[in-house]
Amino acid sequence: MASLNVAKQQLRSLMKQKLGAISYESAISQSSIVSKTLKTFKPYTEAKRISVYLSMPSGEIQTDAIVRDALESGKEVFVPYLHKNPLPSPDLPARVMDMVRLKDLRDYESLKPDRWGIPSIDPTTVYERQRIFGGPDAQHSDQTYLDLILMPGVAFDRDPKSGAIRRLGHGKGFYDYFINLHKAKLSALGMQEHPVLLFGLALSEQFLASPSEGSVPVGPLDQPLDGLVLGNGDVESPTENKTA
């Protein structure tokens, strides 16, 4: 496990330098392409309840246009909210992520940026909102689930052996923990046949297309993706192991 963490940190450091060299204009152009790609992308167009990360000002695909399109299309849009774990334990993370619903476009536009420049939910409004792990409340959060999660990441690649799309996050484990809880919730609701789709959004530079660019180290808790939408308009999908 120690060697895995070291490998992940080394790749994050390399990617930080790589992403720091990407111009603002390129990031905005690639973000526009991703947004346009999603508008005709079946997993997105058919999803009724989606989660979208709210982007940092640089270093990743900007999601403002995606959030606006999803709200204007009548989708239920959920965004990340970080809070103290209600199940304190030495074996569990101290802070975890839930997804809370945006009420409408006006609500989204009212969000204030946090210290990283990310639009953030006001904690005082969380209990008024529908959320994935909110429990029984007036918003029926206990029956709420997602169809699609659009995820950020630091780097992505394709496993040369399995063909799986692999993701390197920022190291906090928020998404992996959330996805496992979401799977458990679907099981409790008797909806095992309705898996949430996991798609990454990435600048072209974040996809390591060949071993010479590096590879994404993963452990048993890291979630493989159903696909990756890139800033050049390509959609990378998992492939079967042709040598098996």
Is 170 annotated as contributing to ligand binding? yes
Is 42 annotated in a binding site? The answer is no
Q: Report the residue count for the chain.
A: 244
- Three-state DSSP at 151 gives strand
| Residue 106: both structure tokens together | 């006006």
- Tell me if 115 is assigned to a ligand binding site: no
Q: According to the annotation, is 12 in a ligand binding site?
A: yes
Nearest to 77 by CA among 88, 93, 94, 63: 63
| Residue 112 labelled as part of a binding site | no
Selection from 221, 208, 205 nearest residue 58 by Cα: 205
Residue 4 is assigned to a ligand binding site: no
129 among annotated binding-site residues? no
8 assigned to a ligand binding site? yes
Flag whether 172 is marked binding: yes
Query: Is 108 within any annotated ligand binding site?
Result: no
Asked if 148 and 155 touch (Cβ cutoff 8 Å), the reply is no
Burial of 14 (0-12, 13-18, 19+ CB in 10 A): middle
> Would the annotation count 168 as a binding residue?
yes
Strands of the sheet with 207-208, listed across from one edge? 165-168, 155-158, 207-208
- Residue 227 marked as a ligand binder: no
Annotated binding residue 62: no
127 is in an annotated binding site: no
Question: Annotated binding site, which residues?
Answer: 8-12, 54, 60, 167-175
Question: Annotated binding site for ATP, which residues?
Answer: 8-12, 167-175
Question: Annotated binding site for substrate, which residues?
Answer: 54, 60
